[in-house]
A and B are shown apart, each in its own frame.
Chain A
Amino acid sequence: MRAEEGLDVSKLIFEHLGDSYEWHIVEGAVIPLPCILIGEQGVDVFMSNKLEHGATYQGYHIAEEGDYEGKIVNAAGERPFDISITKNVLELFIVCTLLCSVVLGLARWYRKNGSKKAPGGFVGMMEAVIDFIDKDVAKESIGHGYERFSPYLMTVFLFILTSNLLGLLPVFPGGANLTGNIAVTLTCAVSAFIAINFFAPKGYYKSIFWPDVPIFLKAPLPIMPTIEFIGVFTKPFSLTVRLFANIMAGHIIILALTSVVFVTAKMGTAMCASMTAVSVLFCIFMNCLELLVAFIQAYVFTILTANFIGLAHDE
């Protein structure tokens, strides 16, 4: 939906969903983030406000169009090795700091008071969550030997849950689209891939390459082994796409509903007022749904990984 002087809705939505070199809070209040680039001229570290409005600094500028639109390129249009602290990277740091402080604080509470009093309040709630993942997810799905994987499953559950919830907040420590970024979900799926395939007993590898099926399905043409081998890769791929698409779709819907208010602003007062009321109601509903989806997606990722680990250990 475009208007000559109005709001470019799709550009707004994709700006909010994507990564950027600065953290944009309100119009005029922008937190610049460090850019760390390693190119032919060595290492360059500078704040990203040197590059705003298309300026060139140290030979680097942000490309306006083409394959690398929105990313830093050098004078020849090539990308340097870019390890800048972008919005998503800073959000990752915030999530990890939050998780470490909460979990390590819990551990300290238990070390001091574990044998003396029963937990209440926040500690009690976290104990319920951790116990749920330990017993109802890890032990149910993996069975014998689940203790090795329980910390990993707990980490992945709490990380995805915290990132999803922070993505729903509109203001500073939240609001970055972390799990809606396919690179982040791909990394979570790669960690699941490692946990499933590299800690499995020998019977698992045998069941992929020489499964227990009639001989005509494996001897002249390895049909079943090929299918099983492809299955090894489709499981983490489906984990990636499920989490990414769910969270990204939720963010797009909420942003689009909010933009309804601004798009109808030019169409007269009655239209704008009624559409604003509709938009606010739908936004409340969508935010509640997204809260539910945040919990469900974290739970589904964890329980599917636990199931796949359990299947690998059964063989």
Chain B
Amino acid sequence: MILEAVEAGMSLAQIGAAIGAAIAVIGAAFGIGMIGKSATESIARQPSAAGNIRTSMILTAAFIEGVALFAIVVCLLVVLK
């Protein structure tokens, strides 16, 4: 299947970049989903701490999204070179 795609004109680099971006997004979605789950559970346990928890949740999600975007930037570099 990969050999057919290669013969059809795509190069292995492009296939690798697309698969790499997809795997990075899966990891990021999984991580941010876990943060959301524990943040909502904590707010349900103690609604008065909702402000603090919301801030920590956004901060941690931004870290994880930053890492996923490193991977996206690398994949874009592979496709464009």
Q: Is the CB–CB distance between A246 and B70 below 8 Å?
A: no
Q: Is the CB–CB distance between A241 and B58 below 8 Å?
A: no
Q: Is the CB–CB distance between A242 and B58 below 8 Å?
A: no
A249 within 8 A of B: yes
Q: Is the CB–CB distance between A245 and B59 below 8 Å?
A: no
A123 to B62, CA, bound (A): 30
Q: Is the CB–CB distance between A241 and B69 below 8 Å?
A: yes
Give every chain A residue within 8 A of B66 (Cβ-Cβ).
238, 241-242, 245
Q: Is the CB–CB distance between A300 and B59 below 8 Å?
A: yes
Q: Is the CB–CB distance between B69 and A300 below 8 Å?
A: no
Give every chain B residue within 8 A of A244 (Cβ-Cβ).
73
Q: Is the CB–CB distance between B65 and A303 below 8 Å?
A: no
Give every chain B residue within 8 A of A300 (Cβ-Cβ).
58-59, 62
Q: Is the CB–CB distance between B65 and A242 below 8 Å?
A: yes
Give every chain B residue within 8 A of A246 (Cβ-Cβ).
65, 69
Q: Is the CB–CB distance between A245 and B62 below 8 Å?
A: no
Could you give, for residues 66-77 of chain A, a 1 whenever the CB lies within 8 Å of some chain B CB and a 0 otherwise?
A: 000000000000
B14 → A minimal CB distance (Å): 13
B17 → A minimal CB distance (Å): 14
Give every chain A residue within 8 A of B59 (Cβ-Cβ).
300, 303-304
A195 to B80, CA, bound (A): 35
Q: Is the CB–CB distance between B70 and A241 below 8 Å?
A: yes
Could you give, for residues 62-81 of chain B, a 1 whenever the CB lies within 8 Å of some chain A CB and a 0 otherwise?
A: 10011001101100000000
A12 → B minimal CB distance (Å): 15
Q: Is the CB–CB distance between B72 and A249 below 8 Å?
A: yes
A129 within 8 A of B: no
A296 within 8 A of B: yes
Give every chain B residue within 8 A of A241 (Cβ-Cβ).
66, 69-70, 73
Q: Which of A238, A242, A303 has the most CB of B within 10 A?
A: A242
Closest A residue, CB atoms, query B73 = A245
A122 → B minimal CB distance (Å): 25
Closest B residue, CB atoms, query A244 = B73
Closest B residue, CB atoms, query A237 = B70
Closest B residue, CB atoms, query A252 = B76
- From A245, A249, A296, contact of B58 by CB (8 A): A296
A306 → B minimal CB distance (Å): 11
B51 → A minimal CB distance (Å): 9
Could you give, for residues 237-266 of chain A, a 1 whenever the CB lies within 8 Å of some chain B CB and a 0 otherwise?
A: 010011011100100000000000000000
Give every chain A residue within 8 A of B72 (Cβ-Cβ).
245, 249
Closest B residue, CB atoms, query A140 = B55
Name the interface residues of B9-62: CB closer than 8 Å to any CB of A: 58-59, 62
A244 to B65, CA, bound (A): 12
A-B pairs, top 4 by smallest CB distance, nearest first, are: A245-B69, A242-B66, A300-B62, A245-B73
Q: List 27 A-B contacts (CB under 8 A).
A: A238-B70, A241-B66, A241-B69, A241-B70, A241-B73, A242-B62, A242-B65, A242-B66, A242-B69, A245-B66, A245-B69, A245-B70, A245-B72, A245-B73, A246-B65, A246-B69, A249-B69, A249-B72, A296-B58, A296-B62, A299-B58, A300-B58, A300-B59, A300-B62, A303-B59, A304-B59, A304-B62
Residues of A within 8 A of B (CB): 238, 241-242, 244-246, 249, 296-297, 299-300, 303-304
